[in-house]
């Protein structure tokens, strides 16, 4: 399985740079196994922060994945937890 996490984050940063929103958030759901290096993921996360973009990371069955320091992280063990997590995230971000 190919999971280009850093590429996806950098693509979001590029896209968001063209938008004029007061709040920009990247939501990432991960199994913690990116196909790119952890250094690339860490650089992409730092790039997003530099551009004022918040990152919310949900890990499925894993502890906090490497490269996501300083971002909001929530671990879930069952996909059924996503609905309540989504509602909590929306409330906290608004």
List, run by run, the mean pLDDT of 10-residue segments along the chain (94 residues).
88 96 91 88 95 92 83 88 85 76
Please give the pLDDT value at position 1.
62
- Cα separation, 6 vs 8, in Å, equals 5
8 A C-beta contact, residue 57 and residue 71: yes
Please name each of the domains of the chain with its CATH number. 5-93 (3.40.50.1100)
Q: What is the pTM of this model?
A: 0.84
Please give the pLDDT value at position 65.
82
Phi, psi of 25 (to 5 degrees): -135, 135
């Amino acid at each position: 399985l190919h999971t280009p996490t850093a590429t996806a984050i950098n693509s979001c940063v590029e896209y968001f740079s063209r938008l004029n929103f007061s709040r920009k958030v990247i939501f990432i759901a991960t199994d913690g196994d990116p196909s790119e290096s952890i250094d690339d993921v860490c650089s992409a996360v730092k790039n997003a922060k530099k551009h004022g973009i918040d990152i919310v990371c949900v890990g499925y069955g894993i502890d906090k994945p490497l490269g996501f320091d300083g971002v909001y992280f929530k671990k879930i063990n069952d996909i059924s937890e996503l609905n309540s997590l989504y509602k909590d995230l929306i409330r906290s971000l608004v």
